Structure 1
């Protein structure tokens, strides 16, 4: 890639992270309504076969990039580098104009390799200024998530800003205080903002200053330093194996390029046929009551039989499912039901059999469902 002789001022780049279901897309929708984010390119990363979140971002018609071929901390790290370089090339050539980049990571992302890339890449580190790492924490499921998922600990520890979501659904002041105390131990310096109270505004989240590990727990510096070995620049870099050593609450071990627990699986149910609202509600109720703790994330767009022109959006995390939202129209040309599941210790075949029992026809098998997705690296224009 050709570097201009006099590169422009570095472009501010913010990273929004947080575990599955913490509310990242909801926050992004709110932020993008602020005029201060005009001229923003959004890069969204989803873990699984079919990306859906980019369809649910209401305020961006242009400048949307979807990385759905894997997780930013794993298989598509090279895609992120190529995407950012391509953006700069188009900007330098006058083909694309933007003032800011926001990356929304998948909820399973380990943020350390992402941040290491943005800070230490010899070209990207000069052209982008990492100006904020915002981590969302689900107040309802946050404590259990931290107990079970080391990625969530890292997401909190590296943050410049912590956004506590769903506090209004918690209904337990002592549980909130205990969670806040735990967040303070993991990240003493980051302000904790309450999303439900309207504190998570663009002015308070973005432009936090050039990213600096000072003020963060010592593990953060170690995690970033370890990435220099795990992902060195140059030939053969991606053949290295991960092996991190941590301590106390911050331990994290990687043994191959997939940094996620082998017990976690993602897949998509897809069918062109409409489903009755009562049958769909019963399907979700039974799945939630039988296996709620294993539903790390359920999200999707559903074609309802009595109103097929207006799809229903579903979001759920473990036992907590938000009230479904009916859209006035389909966000894209595909009018099929698409439900993405990220499960732990739950077999995909069980979910498919349950779906078949309520709908009377099988969902499209995973390989066919994967074929429904667009090019995993595509710019919506």
Structure 2
């Protein structure tokens, strides 16, 4: 499942019209809000059923009926009953004013949907002409950029992105790949398969997924790269009221193996007390119980995907690495909390030992860390 988001006027419809014609998206279902609003310019081949149409590219398109859960469940029922062909992918296009986190939570929290759908990635469109002003003025635009796996710059034929815009995107989300809609780089193939696993080899590509080096680079240049833009951008970056000024991207890493219980308590406390401030969390963790089989976690705000236990480390780097994008939550605070649970708490205390066999209480997780 892929989510396409972006602020009003960013060009989501134009991008959808183009990428849906590419063969790689042949067996795709597209979920939009209203047919009339999106203006897909494909010839509509046929109406399969109420609310579902087939496009000339072979893709299926449907509107959100009731809510997103109902629509996603309806697609599964139609496939299971043989009333709709099997699909390889679902693309959800959000409204321009939407915070994408609730859309992601819909799949991550639902016990049935999480078994049938896998979140691939978030594609966020940013208008090169108005993008910087939009980010500075609208909280939703900040969140759209922060949760993105791919950022697509649009309207670059009208105006190249300013240094200020590029610096702001890197500040808000240093790990996202930035593409341009007008230069041909934002192909369907470039926008999908953002997840942990290489779809061809099925082998996890941790470096590509985590991109912790990008976070470190941003961290080391923080406070310097904001001053390279023109005067207009310079003024914006010193506006104390602008959105995104308290967004931080950083990494935590350690050679120490972390006990399941310590990890659970750290994440549970962080999620329950500061969930809205956690825009994105990703990590690969070396646990005491299974040091040769790392644990992969992925969260958006207070909701986390069910953790995945890899069969083995994908490369020679066997450190625990966590990357964070937070808003209003300092790196120092998170690091002190992490160190307190992973370095300052004995692994064999009664409370922790008892917790090792208990189901996780972290929102969105299922099962245990075993």
Q: Which residue of 2 aligns with 1:182?
A: 168
Q: Which residue of 1 aligns with 2:108?
A: 119
Distance 1:24 1:106 in 2: 9
* Long gaps (5+) in structure 1: 1-12, 70-75, 229-244, 250-381
Instruction: Give the drift of 1:129.
Output: 1.0
Instruction: Give the drift of 1:28.
Output: 0.3
Asked if the contact 2:5–2:125 (Cα under 8 Å) also holds between the matched residues in 1, the reply is yes
Helix, strand or coil at the partner of 2:70: helix
When residues 158 and 214 of structure 1 are mapped into structure 2, their CA distance, relative to the original with a 3 A threshold, is: farther
Q: Which residue of 2 aligns with 1:311?
A: none
Asked if the contact 2:175–2:210 (Cα under 8 Å) also holds between the matched residues in 1, the reply is no
Cα deviation digits, residues 313-353 of structure 1 (max 9, x gap): xxxxxxxxxxxxxxxxxxxxxxxxxxxxxxxxxxxxxxxxx
Structure 1 residue 204 and structure 2 residue 204: aligned? no
Instruction: Give the drift of 1:178.
Output: 1.6
Q: Which residue of 2 aligns with 1:103?
A: 92
Distance 1:26 1:220 in 2: 27
Asked if the contact 1:167–1:194 (Cα under 8 Å) also holds between the matched residues in 2, the reply is yes
Distance 1:53 1:209 in 2: 30
Asked if the contact 1:167–1:196 (Cα under 8 Å) also holds between the matched residues in 2, the reply is yes
Asked if the contact 2:7–2:97 (Cα under 8 Å) also holds between the matched residues in 1, the reply is yes
Instruction: Give the drift of 1:214.
Output: 7.9
Instruction: Give the drift of 1:168.
Output: 1.6
When residues 96 and 213 of structure 1 are mapped into structure 2, their CA distance, relative to the original with a 3 A threshold, is: farther
Instruction: Give the drift of 1:45.
Output: 2.2
Cα deviation digits, residues 28-57 of structure 1 (max 9, x gap): 0000110111121110125xxxx5234434
Helix, strand or coil at the partner of 1:135: strand
Distance 1:220 1:59 in 2: 39
Helix, strand or coil at the partner of 1:90: helix
Q: TM-score, normalised by structure 2?
A: 0.51
Q: Which residue of 2 aligns with 1:161?
A: 150
| Residue number among 71, 78, 90 corresponding to 1:83 in the alignment | 71
Instruction: Give the drift of 1:93.
Output: 1.4
Number of aligned residue pairs:
205
| Residue number among 28, 32, 40 corresponding to 1:44 in the alignment | 32
Alignment of 1:23-42 (within 5 A): 23-42=11-30
Q: Which residue of 1 aligns with 2:62?
A: 65
Instruction: Give the drift of 1:143.
Output: 0.7
Helix, strand or coil at the partner of 1:117: helix
When residues 210 and 119 of structure 1 are mapped into structure 2, their CA distance, relative to the original with a 3 A threshold, is: farther
- Which structure's relative contact order is higher, taking Cα pairs within 8 Å and 6+ residues apart? 1
When residues 160 and 83 of structure 1 are mapped into structure 2, their CA distance, relative to the original with a 3 A threshold, is: same
Distance 2:196 2:91 in 1: 15
Distance 2:180 2:7 in 1: 17
Q: Which residue of 2 aligns with 1:247?
A: 328
Cα deviation digits, residues 217-248 of structure 1 (max 9, x gap): 473148834469xxxxxxxxxxxxxxxx9528
Q: Which residue of 1 aligns with 2:269?
A: none
Cα deviation digits, residues 173-207 of structure 1 (max 9, x gap): xx522211110111111110011111100111011
| 4+ residue runs over 2 A deviation | 51-57, 210-219, 221-228, 245-249
Distance 2:44 2:122 in 1: 21
Asked if the contact 1:39–1:99 (Cα under 8 Å) also holds between the matched residues in 2, the reply is yes
Q: TM-score, normalised by structure 1?
A: 0.49
Q: Which residue of 2 aligns with 1:17?
A: 5
When residues 170 and 30 of structure 1 are mapped into structure 2, their CA distance, relative to the original with a 3 A threshold, is: same
* Long gaps (5+) in structure 2: 46-53, 55-59, 198-208, 216-248, 251-277, 282-298, 305-325, 331-370
Asked if the contact 2:22–2:188 (Cα under 8 Å) also holds between the matched residues in 1, the reply is yes
Distance 2:327 2:167 in 1: 21
Cα deviation digits, residues 109-165 of structure 1 (max 9, x gap): 101111112222111111011112100000000011011110001001101100000
When residues 210 and 117 of structure 1 are mapped into structure 2, their CA distance, relative to the original with a 3 A threshold, is: farther
Root mean square deviation, CA, Å? 2.7
When residues 160 and 247 of structure 1 are mapped into structure 2, their CA distance, relative to the original with a 3 A threshold, is: same
